Amino acid sequence: MSAPPRISDAEWQVMEAVWGRHDVAAGEIAAEVGPPNDWSEATVKTMLARLVKKGALRFRQDGKRYLYSPAVPREACVRSEARDFRERMFGGRTSPLLAWFVRESPLSDSEIEQLRALLDEKRTDSGDDSGASA
C-alpha cells in the first residue's frame, strides 16, 4: 500500500467529519465543519474536491448530491503524519520525541502508569530485559 496523501490542517478537519462514516453528503460535512471555522459551503466543497483529487476521499453521486467516504483509514494518516513529525523534529529518533512529550505534557498518575506499562511491554516484545536504556 502506498503512503497516504499529505493532508493540510484544514483538510484534516474535513477528513475528521468523514472518517468512520460512509456516504456523507457534502452539505452535512459543510454544516459540521463550516461554522466553527467560518468557512462557506463552497470552501468546504473545494476542500472535498481537493481531497478526492489527492485520493483521500471517494465520492458517488446520488441525484444532485455528492456522497463522500474515506479512501484512506485515519490510522494510516496518523501514522504517516507522526513519522513525518518525528523525522522533521527529532531526526527520526523516537527517544527524544517521547522525552520531549513527557517533559512538556501534563500527565496524571494514571497516564504515567499507562506509559510505564507500554514501555515495559515494548521491552518484553524486544526481548531486552536487561534494563538498559536507549
Query: Are residues 27 and 64 located together in one domain of the fold?
Result: yes
Q: Between β-strands 24-25 and 65-70, what pairing exists: parallel, antiparallel or unpaired?
A: antiparallel
Tell me the C-alpha to C-alpha distance, in Å, between residue 65 and each of 16, 69, 88, 98: 20, 13, 40, 45
- Longest Cα–Cα distance in the chain: 64
Query: What's the pLDDT at 2?
Result: 77
* pLDDT tens, N- to C-terminus, the chain (134 residues): 578 999 999 999 999 999 999 999 999 999 999 999 999 999 999 999 999 999 999 999 999 999 999 999 999 999 999 999 999 999 999 999 999 999 999 999 999 999 999 999 999 887 755 544 44
Q: Which domain holds residue 47?
A: 9-70
Rounded Cα distance between 42 and 99, Å, is: 43
Query: Are residues 56 and 99 located together in one domain of the fold?
Result: no
User: What is the per-residue burial (b if ≥16 Cβ within 10 Å, else e) of 88-113?
Assistant: eeeeeeeeebbeeeeeeeeeeeeeee
Query: What's the pLDDT at 35?
Result: 97
Rounded Cα distance between 73 and 114, Å, is: 26
- Between 26-37 and 9-18, two packed helices, what is the crossing angle to 10 degrees? 130
- Between 94-104 and 74-90, two packed helices, what is the crossing angle to 10 degrees? 90
In a domain, 86, yes or no: no
Query: Are residues 14 and 57 located together in one domain of the fold?
Result: yes
pTM over 0.85: no
In a domain, 3, yes or no: no
